[in-house]
Amino acid sequence: MKEKINVMITEEEISKRILEVADRINKDYEGRELILICVLKGGVMFMCDLAKRLNLDVRLDFMSVSSYGAETKSSGVVKIIKDLDNSIEGRDVLIVEDIIDSGNTLAYLLDILEKRGPKSIKLCTLLDKPSRREKDVVVDYVCFEIEDKFVLGYGLDYDQRYRNLPYIGVMEFLE
């Protein structure tokens, strides 16, 4: 089966919106140190571009969690594959996600991280699909709210492919 990718959000739109969100974060955390926690792998490009636009004392850390295994639907069982390298106790934390849909994995992750005693913990996402939400998670910074479509590019993948696209696309399967 062949695939066609239609552009949903251009590289220019992404860059402009990240700058707007970074300006809000700069104001909200002015004069404070901020730890950005990237949820691997999809959030890497977004976090790097966001971090470059922050005028703050920023630290970067990474986590990898999975609830999918080899399936395309969440199994509901969340596994931490890679944990943080540093303590977040007493620190301001911003979780940086590529996309939030059901919220199940993120709710689990927030619960784990809140037990580690951060001063504050907020959430920033490139893409939000609120129509798919099953768990009530508060998203503090959203770049784009999108409809329920399978998207890829700019860090998001299909079978580990297409992460390197500079835009967000919608995949269409051709026969």
Q: Distance between CA atoms of 106 and 127, rounded to whole angstroms? A: 14
Amino acid at position 175, single letter: E
**Active-site pick, 49, 57, 92, 101:** 101
Contact 33/45 with Cβ under 8 angstroms? no
Exposed e or buried b per residue across 101-120, where buried means at least 16 C-beta atoms within 10 angstroms of its C-beta: bbbbbbebbbeebeeeebee
101 catalytic residue (yes or no) = yes
CA angle 99, 153, 34 (to 5 degrees): 50
Catalytic residue numbers read 101
